[in-house]
Amino acid sequence: MRIDVISIFPDYFAPLSLSLVGKAIARGVVELGIHDLRRWTHDRHHTTDDTPYGGGAGMVMKPEPWGEALDAVEALSPSRPTIVIPTPAGEPFTQARAYELAARDHLVFACGRYEGIDQRVIDHCHDTYDTFEVSLGDYVLNGGEVAVLAITEAVVRLIPGVIGNPESLFEESHSDDNDRLLEYPNYTKPPVWRGRAVPEMLLSGNHGAIAQWRRERALERTRERRPDLLAERPPS
């Protein structure tokens, strides 16, 4: 997979050369290009934003640098690029979307600042490429950069061969194989820590009973913390 990121803060993406994503890059499973949007400005001050038509607070990213940046990055494409635009106005980013993006050849992330990119750029993306506008949640970030770090990690770990032990993909929270419940609580040694004992059931060696106990804990947690997930589940 090829991944390109367009941002006015290219330094934000240094962490991508670490950890699991970094290993995928080192192994050649992922090819990563980070691009400074200012490279496609032509004025002395490398201006990327301007005041909004119609008035209001904040600034809006100008369309011209974005148009040139997208054209240039498209030229690097091994096939047809998929554009991902993090925005608080996007659809909630989900594990299902992560799986879908993990199957693409070329992802292009377009990082806008909070007030956003001129809508004509977004419309151009929808008309020209497969485009997803996604949000990480209902809170305020200054721009799309942190969202791109999170989405990249969620996607790259799903590319076949990236995770050493693919079994660990199965039982985790939000996976289909876990019935979309939150994950049950986990424990390791020692058996008692600061007066807190590991639940006795887990020491029983009774694998059937343990599986049932874990499912009960997962349901209990989900009911308390994410009742919306229970409401979404297929009947049974």
Give me the residues that bind ligand JBQ (CB under 6 A), please: 86-88, 114, 135-137, 139-141, 143-144, 147
- Report, in Å, the least distance between residue 74 CB and ligand JBQ: 22
The smaller minimum CB distance to ligand JBQ, of residues 40 and 132, is found at 132
CA–CA distance, 117 with 111 (Å, rounded to integer): 9
Rounded to the nearest angstrom, the gap between the alpha carbon of residue 224 and the centroid of all alpha carbons in its chain is: 25
- Report, in Å, the least distance between residue 133 CB and ligand JBQ: 9
- Report, in Å, the least distance between residue 151 CB and ligand JBQ: 9
- Sign of the Cα torsion 166, 172, 178, 184 reads positive
The smaller minimum CB distance to ligand JBQ, of residues 141 and 163, is found at 141
- Report, in Å, the least distance between residue 86 CB and ligand JBQ: 3
- The residue sitting closest to ligand JBQ, measured at its beta carbon, is 86
The smaller minimum CB distance to ligand JBQ, of residues 83 and 218, is found at 83
Q: Dump the DSSP string for 104-129.
A: -SEEEEE--BTT-B-HHHHHHHHHHS
Describe the crossing of helices 63-74 and 119-128 by its angle, rounded to 10 degrees: 20
**For the chain, give me the number of helices (H) and strands (E)?**
7, 9
CA–CA distance, 199 with 213 (Å, rounded to integer): 10
The smaller minimum CB distance to ligand JBQ, of residues 22 and 88, is found at 88
- Sign of the Cα torsion 41, 49, 62, 149 reads positive
- Report, in Å, the least distance between residue 222 CB and ligand JBQ: 23
The smaller minimum CB distance to ligand JBQ, of residues 81 and 86, is found at 86
- Report, in Å, the least distance between residue 115 CB and ligand JBQ: 9
The smaller minimum CB distance to ligand JBQ, of residues 150 and 211, is found at 150
Strand ranges in 95-215 using DSSP code E only, listed in sequence order:
106-110, 130-135, 192-193, 196-197
